[in-house]
Chain A
Amino acid sequence: MSSIAPAVCFVDVCPLDNLPLGMGRAFVIGGRSVALFHRRGGNLFAMDNACPHKGGPLAEGMLAEGRVVCPMHARRYDGITGECDQPGECPVRVHPVAITNGMVRVGIPGDGLASEGAG
Chain B
Amino acid sequence: MTFMANGTLPKRPRLIILGNGMAGARLAEDILVLDREKFEIVMFGEEPHGNYNRILLSNVLNGSQDMGEIEINSLPWYKENGITLHAGKKVTRIDPACKKVFADGVVESYDQLVIATGSIPFVPPLPGTDLEGVFVFRTVDDCKNIAQYAKGCKKAVVIGGGLLGLEAAKGLMTHNLEVTVVEYNKWLMSVQLDETGGEILGKTVAGLGIRVRTQASTQALVGNGKVQSVHYKDGTEDEADMVVISAGIRPNISLAKSCGLGCNRAILVDDKLATSDPSIFAVGECVEHRGMVYGLVAPLWEQTKALAAHLTGTDPDRIYAGSKLATKLKVMGVELAAMGMISDVRQGDEVVQYSEPAKGIYAKAIIRDGKVSAACLVGDLGPAETLLGHFHKDTPVPTRRMDLFGGPLPQKLELSLADLPDAHPVCDCNGISKGAICNAIQAGHCTVASVGKATRAGTGCGSCKKMVKGLIEAVAGAIKVDPTESYYVSAVPMEKAILVAQIRKHKLKSVSAVLAQFGTSEDEKSKNGLASLLKSMWNKEYVDERDARFVNDRVHANIQKDGTFSVVPRMYGGVTTPQELIRIGEAAIKYNIPMVKVTGGQRIDLLGVAKEDLPGVWADIGMPSGHAYTKAFRTCKTCVGIEFCRYGTNDSTGLGIDIEKKFQGIEFPAKLKMAVSGCPRNCAESTVKDIGIIATEGGDWEISVGGGAGAHVKKTEVLCRVQSKGEALKIVGRFMQYYREHGKYLERTYDFVPRIGIETLQEIIVNDSLGIAEHLDQGIEEAVKGFVDPWLEREQPVYPGQFSEPIQVGPMYLAGTTA
- A63–B817 Cα distance when bound, in Å, is 33
With CB as the reference atom, state the residue of chain A lying closest to B818.
A111
1/0 contact string of A15-39 vs chain B (CB within 8 Å): 0011111110111111111000000
Q: How many residues of A contact B (CB 8 A)?
A: 47
Q: Does B759 contact A (CB under 8 A)?
A: no
A71 near B814: Cβ-Cβ < 8 Å: no
A1, A61, A64, A72: the one contacting B523 at CB < 8 Å is: A64
1/0 contact string of A52-73 vs chain B (CB within 8 Å): 0011110111111100010110
Q: A22-B545, A26-B801 are in contact. Are A113 and B522 (CB under 8 A)?
A: no
- For residue B12, give the distance in angstroms from its CB to the closest CB of chain A: 70
Q: Does B527 contact A (CB under 8 A)?
A: yes
- A17–B805 Cα distance when bound, in Å, is 17
Q: A20-B546, A60-B559, A111-B818 are in contact. Are A33 and B811 (CB under 8 A)?
A: no
With CB as the reference atom, state the residue of chain A lying closest to B805.
A26
B522, B800, B807: the one contacting A65 at CB < 8 Å is: B522
- A70–B815 Cα distance when bound, in Å, is 24
Q: A23-B799, A62-B524 are in contact. Are A110 and B546 (CB under 8 A)?
A: no
Q: Does B547 contact A (CB under 8 A)?
A: yes
Which residues from 803 to 819 on chain B have a C-beta closer than 8 Å to any C-beta of chain A?
805-819
Q: How many residues of B contact A (CB 8 A)?
A: 36
- A65–B522 Cα distance when bound, in Å, is 6
Query: Which residues from A are CB-within-8-Å of B418?
Result: none
B812 near A30: Cβ-Cβ < 8 Å: yes
A27, A54, A57: the one contacting B807 at CB < 8 Å is: A27
Q: A18-B801, A20-B799, A26-B806 are in contact. Are A61 and B551 (CB under 8 A)?
A: yes
- A29–B815 Cα distance when bound, in Å, is 8
B524 near A114: Cβ-Cβ < 8 Å: no
A65 near B810: Cβ-Cβ < 8 Å: no
Max count, chain A CB within 10 A of own CB: residue among B563, B799, B816: B563
- A55–B809 Cα distance when bound, in Å, is 21
B521 near A11: Cβ-Cβ < 8 Å: no
B547, B561, B802, B810: the one contacting A63 at CB < 8 Å is: B547
Which residues from 511 to 531 on chain B have a C-beta closer than 8 Å to any C-beta of chain A?
512, 521-524, 527
Query: Which residues from B are CB-within-8-Å of A55?
Result: 563
- A31–B813 Cα distance when bound, in Å, is 7
Which residues from 532 to 573 on chain B have a C-beta closer than 8 Å to any C-beta of chain A?
545-551, 554, 559, 561, 563
A31 near B815: Cβ-Cβ < 8 Å: yes
- For residue A21, give the distance in angstroms from its CB to the closest CB of chain B: 7
- A23–B548 Cα distance when bound, in Å, is 9
- A57–B806 Cα distance when bound, in Å, is 11
Q: A60-B551, A65-B522, A65-B523 are in contact. Are A31 and B816 (CB under 8 A)?
A: yes
- A119–B211 Cα distance when bound, in Å, is 76
A30 near B815: Cβ-Cβ < 8 Å: yes
Which residues from 738 to 773 on chain B have a C-beta closer than 8 Å to any C-beta of chain A?
none
- A54–B559 Cα distance when bound, in Å, is 14
- A27–B807 Cα distance when bound, in Å, is 5
- Count of A-B residue pairs with CB < 8 Å: 122
Which residues from 34 to 49 on chain A have a C-beta closer than 8 Å to any C-beta of chain B?
40, 49
B819 near A1: Cβ-Cβ < 8 Å: yes
A19, A49, A65: the one contacting B806 at CB < 8 Å is: A49
Query: Which residues from A are CB-within-8-Å of B799?
Result: 20, 23
B819 near A111: Cβ-Cβ < 8 Å: yes
A18 near B800: Cβ-Cβ < 8 Å: yes
Q: A21-B547, A27-B807 are in contact. Are A62 and B527 (CB under 8 A)?
A: yes
Q: A2-B819, A11-B814 are in contact. Are A57 and B563 (CB under 8 A)?
A: yes
Max count, chain A CB within 10 A of own CB: residue among B545, B799, B811, B815: B815
- A62–B491 Cα distance when bound, in Å, is 15
B523, B800, B810, B818: the one contacting A20 at CB < 8 Å is: B800
Which residues from 1 to 16 on chain A have a C-beta closer than 8 Å to any C-beta of chain B?
1-2, 5, 9, 11-14
B561 near A54: Cβ-Cβ < 8 Å: yes
B806 near A28: Cβ-Cβ < 8 Å: yes
Q: A12-B809, A23-B799, A25-B800 are in contact. Are A109 and B521 (CB under 8 A)?
A: no
Query: Which residues from B are CB-within-8-Å of A1?
Result: 819
A33 near B801: Cβ-Cβ < 8 Å: no
A40 near B521: Cβ-Cβ < 8 Å: no
Query: Which residues from B are CB-within-8-Å of A5?
Result: 819
A64 near B815: Cβ-Cβ < 8 Å: no
B812 near A31: Cβ-Cβ < 8 Å: yes
B547 near A23: Cβ-Cβ < 8 Å: yes
Q: A22-B545, A29-B810, A110-B814 are in contact. Are A65 and B819 (CB under 8 A)?
A: no
Q: Does A108 contact B (CB under 8 A)?
A: yes
A27 near B806: Cβ-Cβ < 8 Å: yes
- A21–B811 Cα distance when bound, in Å, is 27
- A29–B554 Cα distance when bound, in Å, is 24
B816 near A33: Cβ-Cβ < 8 Å: no
With CB as the reference atom, state the residue of chain B lying closest to A10.
B810
- A69–B526 Cα distance when bound, in Å, is 13
With CB as the reference atom, state the residue of chain A lying closest to B516.
A40
With CB as the reference atom, state the residue of chain A lying closest to B550.
A62
A32 near B815: Cβ-Cβ < 8 Å: yes
Query: Which residues from A are CB-within-8-Å of B521?
Result: 65
1/0 contact string of B266-301 vs chain A (CB within 8 Å): 000000000000000000000000000000000000
1/0 contact string of B778-803 vs chain A (CB within 8 Å): 00000000000000000000011110
- A22–B512 Cα distance when bound, in Å, is 10
Query: Which residues from A are CB-within-8-Å of B815?
Result: 29-32, 108-110
Query: Which residues from A are CB-within-8-Å of B814?
Result: 9, 11, 29-32, 108, 110-111, 113-114
- For residue A42, give the distance in angstroms from its CB to the closest CB of chain B: 13
Query: Which residues from A are CB-within-8-Å of B806?
Result: 26-28, 33, 49, 59
Query: Which residues from A are CB-within-8-Å of B559?
Result: 60, 71-72
1/0 contact string of B4-23 vs chain A (CB within 8 Å): 00000000000000000000
Query: Which residues from B are CB-within-8-Å of A20?
Result: 546-547, 799-802
Query: Which residues from A are CB-within-8-Å of B808?
Result: 27-28
With CB as the reference atom, state the residue of chain A lying closest to B806.
A26
A27 near B547: Cβ-Cβ < 8 Å: no
- A94–B148 Cα distance when bound, in Å, is 71
- For residue B566, give the distance in angstroms from its CB to the closest CB of chain A: 14
Query: Which residues from B are CB-within-8-Å of A21?
Result: 545, 547
With CB as the reference atom, state the residue of chain B lying closest to A12.
B809
Q: A9-B814, A30-B814, A65-B523 are in contact. Are A23 and B546 (CB under 8 A)?
A: yes
Query: Which residues from A are CB-within-8-Å of B549?
Result: 62
A9, A18, A64: the one contacting B524 at CB < 8 Å is: A64
A69 near B800: Cβ-Cβ < 8 Å: no
Query: Which residues from A are CB-within-8-Å of B545?
Result: 21-22
- For residue A98, give the distance in angstroms from its CB to the closest CB of chain B: 14
B522, B811, B819: the one contacting A30 at CB < 8 Å is: B811
- A74–B523 Cα distance when bound, in Å, is 11
- For residue B409, give the distance in angstroms from its CB to the closest CB of chain A: 20
- A49–B805 Cα distance when bound, in Å, is 13
Query: Which residues from A are CB-within-8-Å of B561?
Result: 54, 72
Query: Which residues from A are CB-within-8-Å of B805?
Result: 26
B547 near A111: Cβ-Cβ < 8 Å: no
A11 near B563: Cβ-Cβ < 8 Å: no
- For residue B212, give the distance in angstroms from its CB to the closest CB of chain A: 40
Beyond the given A23-B799, A27-B807, A65-B521, please list 13 additional residue pairs across the A-B interface where CB-CB is below 8 A: A9-B814, A14-B809, A20-B801, A21-B545, A22-B546, A22-B547, A26-B805, A28-B807, A56-B563, A63-B547, A65-B522, A71-B559, A110-B815
Measured CB to CB, the residues of B under 8 A from A are 512, 521-524, 527, 545-551, 554, 559, 561, 563, 799-802, 805-819
What are some 20 contacts across the A-B interface (CB < 8 A)?
Answer: A13-B807, A14-B809, A20-B799, A20-B800, A26-B807, A27-B806, A28-B809, A30-B810, A31-B810, A31-B812, A31-B813, A31-B815, A60-B563, A62-B524, A62-B527, A110-B816, A113-B811, A113-B813, A113-B819, A114-B810
Give me the 10 closest cross-chain CB pairs, A-B, nearest first. Answer: A30-B814, A22-B547, A30-B810, A26-B806, A20-B799, A11-B810, A62-B524, A60-B551, A32-B815, A31-B815
